[in-house]
Amino acid sequence: MTYRAPVKEILFYLTEVLDAGRISQTERFAAATGDMIKAILGEAARMSEEVLAPLNVPGDLHPAKLVDGSVQCSPGYDTGYKVISEGGWAGMSGDPKFGGMGLPLTLTSCVGEMMSGACLSLALNPLMTQGQIEALEHHANDEIKSLYLPKLISGQWTGTMNLTEAGAGSDVGALRTKAEDNGDGTYSVTGQKIFISWGDHDLAENICHLVLARLPDAVAGTKGISLFLVPKFLPDTDGTPNVANNAHAISLEHKLGLHGSPTAIMEFAGATGWMVGAEGGGMAAMFTMMNNARIGVGVQGLSQAEAATQKALEYAMDRKQGRSPIEGGTGTILDHADVRRNIMTMKTLTASARAVILDAAISVDLSRALNGDDGQVQAARGAFLTPIAKAFGTDIGCEVADIGVQVHGGMGYIEETGAAQYYRDVRVTAIYEGTNGIQAMDLVGRKLMDGGVAAFGLLAEIRHTAAIAEEAAPDLAAFLAGAEASLSATVRWMLEAEINDRFAGAAPFLRAFGLTLGGHYLLKAAMAGPVRMPLAEFHIRQTMKQVDGLCHAACEGASTLYALDADALSA
Amino acid sequence: MTYRAPVKEILFYLTEVLDAGRISQTERFAAATGDMIKAILGEAARMSEEVLAPLNVPGDLHPAKLVDGSVQCSPGYDTGYKVISEGGWAGMSGDPKFGGMGLPLTLTSCVGEMMSGACLSLALNPLMTQGQIEALEHHANDEIKSLYLPKLISGQWTGTMNLTEAGAGSDVGALRTKAEDNGDGTYSVTGQKIFISWGDHDLAENICHLVLARLPDAVAGTKGISLFLVPKFLPDTDGTPNVANNAHAISLEHKLGLHGSPTAIMEFAGATGWMVGAEGGGMAAMFTMMNNARIGVGVQGLSQAEAATQKALEYAMDRKQGRSPIEGGTGTILDHADVRRNIMTMKTLTASARAVILDAAISVDLSRALNGDDGQVQAARGAFLTPIAKAFGTDIGCEVADIGVQVHGGMGYIEETGAAQYYRDVRVTAIYEGTNGIQAMDLVGRKLMDGGVAAFGLLAEIRHTAAIAEEAAPDLAAFLAGAEASLSATVRWMLEAEINDRFAGAAPFLRAFGLTLGGHYLLKAAMAGPVRMPLAEFHIRQTMKQVDGLCHAACEGASTLYALDADALSA
Residues of chain B contacting residue A406, judged by C-beta atoms under 8 Å apart: 430-431, 435-437
Q: Label residue B433 by pLDDT band (50, 70, 90).
A: very high
CA-to-CA distance for B490 and B440, rounded, in angstroms? 14
Q: What is the pTM for the complete model shown?
A: 0.98
Compare all CA atoms of chain A with the CA of B173 and give the residue at the minimum distance.
A322
Binary contact (A413, B322; C-beta < 8 A): no
**Interchain CB contacts (distance < 8 Å): A and B:** 253
Strand partners, A320: A332
Closest Cβ–Cβ partner in B254, B533, B542 for A416? B254
> What residue ranges in A454-532 does DSSP mark as E strands?
none
Phi, psi of A404 (to 5 degrees): -60, -45
Instruction: Give the per-residue pLDDT at A324.
Output: 83
Binary contact (B170, A330; C-beta < 8 A): no
ipTM of the complex: 0.97
Q: Is the C-alpha dihedral spanning B178, B182, B186, B188 positive or negative?
A: negative
Residues of chain B contacting residue A314, judged by C-beta atoms under 8 Å apart: 570
Q: Under the phi-then-psi rule, with left for phi > 0, alpha for psi from -120 to 50, and beta for the rest, what region is B418? A: left
The average confidence (pLDDT) of chain A is 96
Q: Is B483 on the interface with A (CB under 8 A)?
A: no
Binary contact (B553, A542; C-beta < 8 A): yes
CA-to-CA distance for B266 and A485, rounded, in angstroms? 58
Measured CA distances, A508 to A419, A513, B525 (Å): 28, 8, 26
Q: Is A135 on the interface with B (CB under 8 A)?
A: no
| DSSP code for A218 | P
Closest Cβ–Cβ partner in A171, A431, A564 for B413? A431
Q: Label residue B571 by pLDDT band (50, 70, 90).
A: confident
Average pLDDT over residues B152-158: 97
Average pLDDT over residues B402-428: 98
Q: Is B541 on the interface with A (CB under 8 A)?
A: yes
Q: What SS3 state is found at B276? A: strand
Instruction: Give the per-residue pLDDT at B286.
Output: 84
The CB-side HSE value for B77 (13 A sphere, CA atoms) comes to: 32
Q: Is residue B267 part of a domain?
A: no
Binary contact (B338, A550; C-beta < 8 A): no
Q: Is B23 on the interface with A (CB under 8 A)?
A: no
Binary contact (B561, A547; C-beta < 8 A): no
CA-to-CA distance for B431 and A252, rounded, in angstroms? 33
Residues of chain B contacting residue A539, judged by C-beta atoms under 8 Å apart: none
Q: Is B327 on the interface with A (CB under 8 A)?
A: no
Instruction: Quickly list DSSP for B366-382.
Output: HHHHS-HHHHHHHHHHH
From A511's Cα to the closest Cα of chain B, the distance in A is 13
The tens digit of pLDDT for each residue in A69-91 reads 999 999 999 999 999 999 999 99
What angle separates helix A419-426 from helix A282-318, to the nearest 10 degrees?
160
The tens digit of pLDDT for each residue in A473-523 reads 999 999 999 999 999 999 999 999 999 999 999 999 999 999 999 999 999
CA-to-CA distance for A385 and B245, rounded, in angstroms? 64
3-state secondary structure A89-146: CCCCCCCHHHCCCCCCHHHHHHHHHHHHHHCHHHHHHHHHHHHHHHHHHHHCCHHHHH
Q: Is the pLDDT of residue A532 over 90?
A: yes
Closest by CA to A125, choosing from A66, A178, A80, is A80
Q: Is A391 on the interface with B (CB under 8 A)?
A: no
Contact predicate A24/A33, CB 8 Å? yes
Q: Is residue A321 part of a domain?
A: no
Q: What is the CA radius of gyration of chain B?
A: 24
Instruction: Give the per-residue pLDDT at B329.
Output: 84
Q: Label residue A288 by pLDDT band (50, 70, 90).
A: confident
| DSSP code for A450 | T
Instruction: Quickly list DSSP for A8-25.
Output: HHHHHIIIIIS-THHHHT
Average pLDDT over residues B335-345: 97
Instruction: Give the per-residue pLDDT at A187.
Output: 98
Instruction: Quickly list DSSP for A510-552.
Output: HHHHHHHHHHHHHHHHHHHSGGGHHHHHHHHHTGGGGHHHHHH
Residues of chain A contacting residue B322, judged by C-beta atoms under 8 Å apart: 170-171
Closest Cβ–Cβ partner in A341, A548, A563 for B504? A341
Q: Label residue B168 by pLDDT band (50, 70, 90).
A: confident
From A24's Cα to the closest Cα of chain B, the distance in A is 28
The tens digit of pLDDT for each residue in B256-312 reads 999 999 999 999 999 999 999 999 999 988 887 788 899 999 999 999 999 999 999
Q: Is the pLDDT of residue A261 over 60?
A: yes
Residues of chain A contacting residue B500, judged by C-beta atoms under 8 Å apart: 325-326, 337
Q: Which of B 187-226 lie inside 8 A of A, CB atoms? A: 194-195
Q: Is B180 on the interface with A (CB under 8 A)?
A: no
Instruction: Give the per-residue pLDDT at A82.
Output: 98
CA-to-CA distance for B160 and B199, rounded, in angstroms? 6
Residues of chain B contacting residue A534, judged by C-beta atoms under 8 Å apart: 560, 563-564
Instruction: Give the per-residue pLDDT at B129.
Output: 96
From B145's Cα to the closest Cα of chain A, the distance in A is 32
Average pLDDT over residues B106-123: 98
CA-to-CA distance for A110 and B103, rounded, in angstroms? 60
Instruction: Give the per-residue pLDDT at B188.
Output: 98
Q: Is residue B234 part of a domain?
A: no
Closest Cβ–Cβ partner in A340, A420, A503 for B338? A503
Strand partners, A265: A251
The tens digit of pLDDT for each residue in A376-398 reads 999 999 999 999 999 999 999 99
CA-to-CA distance for A351 and A485, rounded, in angstroms? 23
Amino acid at B386: T
Compare all CA atoms of chain B with the CA of A258 and give the residue at the minimum distance.
B413
Closest Cβ–Cβ partner in A170, A341, A409 for B431? A409
Q: Is B412 on the interface with A (CB under 8 A)?
A: yes
Instruction: Give the per-residue pLDDT at A167.
Output: 86
Closest by CA to A494, choosing from A460, A461, A451, A437, is A451
Q: Is residue A480 part of a domain?
A: yes
Phi, psi of A41 (to 5 degrees): -60, -40
Phi, psi of B34 (to 5 degrees): -55, -45
Instruction: Quickly list DSSP for B205-241.
Output: SEEEEEEEEE-TTPPSSGGGEEEEEEESEEE-TTS-E
Binary contact (A541, B556; C-beta < 8 A): yes
From A460's Cα to the closest Cα of chain B, the distance in A is 24
Amino acid at A347: K
Q: Is the pLDDT of residue B341 over 90?
A: yes
Closest Cβ–Cβ partner in B413, B533, B537 for A256? B413
From A519's Cα to the closest Cα of chain B, the distance in A is 15
Q: Is residue A119 part of a domain?
A: no
Q: Which of A 492-531 lie inside 8 A of B, CB atoms? A: 499-500, 503-504, 506-508, 531
Q: Is the pLDDT of residue B1 over 80?
A: no
| Alpha helices (H) along B177-321 | 282-318
Q: Is the pLDDT of residue A1 over 60?
A: no
Binary contact (A558, B337; C-beta < 8 A): yes
Instruction: Give the per-residue pLDDT at B173.
Output: 86
Burial class (CB in 10 A: 0-12, 13-18, 19+), B106: buried
Residue B182: count of CB within 10 angstroms of its CB: 12
Cα end-to-end span (Å), chain B: 50
CA-to-CA distance for A123 and A69, rounded, in angstroms? 24
Closest by CA to B249, choosing from B178, B199, B208, is B199
Q: Is B62 on the interface with A (CB under 8 A)?
A: no
The tens digit of pLDDT for each residue in B34-78 reads 999 999 999 999 999 999 999 999 999 999 999 999 999 999 999
Q: Is residue A513 part of a domain?
A: yes
Q: Is residue A124 part of a domain?
A: no
Q: Is B563 on the interface with A (CB under 8 A)?
A: yes
Phi, psi of B196 (to 5 degrees): -90, 105
Instruction: Give the per-residue pLDDT at A369.
Output: 97
Contact predicate A112/A127, CB 8 Å? yes
The tens digit of pLDDT for each residue in A115-163 reads 999 999 999 999 999 999 999 999 999 999 999 999 999 999 999 999 9
CA-to-CA distance for B568 and B571, rounded, in angstroms? 5
Q: Is A272 on the interface with B (CB under 8 A)?
A: no
The CB-side HSE value for A74 (13 A sphere, CA atoms) comes to: 26
**Residue A459 sits in which domain range?**
436-563
**Which of these is catalytic: A113, A134, A137, A433?**
A433
Q: Is the pLDDT of residue B369 over 90?
A: yes
Contact predicate B415/A255, CB 8 Å? yes
Instruction: Give the per-residue pLDDT at A173.
Output: 86
Q: Is residue A551 part of a domain?
A: yes
User: How many domains is chain A partitioned into structurally?
Assistant: 1
Contact predicate A229/A274, CB 8 Å? yes
Instruction: Give the per-residue pLDDT at A237.
Output: 82
Contact predicate B16/B525, CB 8 Å? yes
Instruction: Give the per-residue pLDDT at B209.
Output: 98
- Helix (H) / strand (E) containing A374: helix A372-407
Binary contact (B542, A558; C-beta < 8 A): no
Amino acid at A212: L
CA-to-CA distance for B373 and B359, rounded, in angstroms? 19
Closest Cβ–Cβ partner in B317, B406, B428 for A570? B317
Q: Is A563 on the interface with B (CB under 8 A)?
A: yes
Q: Label residue A2 by pLDDT band (50, 70, 90).
A: confident
CA-to-CA distance for B88 and B106, rounded, in angstroms? 17
CA-to-CA distance for B434 and B344, rounded, in angstroms? 30
The tens digit of pLDDT for each residue in B458-517 reads 999 999 999 999 999 999 999 999 999 999 999 999 999 999 999 999 999 999 999 999
Instruction: Give the per-residue pLDDT at B146.
Output: 96
Closest Cβ–Cβ partner in A313, A406, A571 for B570? A313
B458 Cβ contact partners less than 8 Å away, ≥ 6 residues apart = B381, B384, B385, B517
CA-to-CA distance for B510 and B527, rounded, in angstroms? 26
Closest Cβ–Cβ partner in B321, B330, B435 for A169? B321
Residues of chain A contacting residue B535, judged by C-beta atoms under 8 Å apart: 564
Residues of chain A contacting residue B194, judged by C-beta atoms under 8 Å apart: 410
Q: Label residue A239 by pLDDT band (50, 70, 90).
A: confident
Strand partners, B181: B187
Q: Label residue A289 by pLDDT band (50, 70, 90).
A: confident
- Helix (H) / strand (E) containing B8: helix B7-12
Q: Is B433 a catalytic residue?
A: yes
Phi, psi of B557 (to 5 degrees): 75, 175
Cα end-to-end span (Å), chain A: 50
Chain A interface, best mutation among B259, B313, B564, by max A CB count within 10 A: B564
Q: Is the pLDDT of residue B322 over 80?
A: no
Contact predicate A111/A92, CB 8 Å? yes
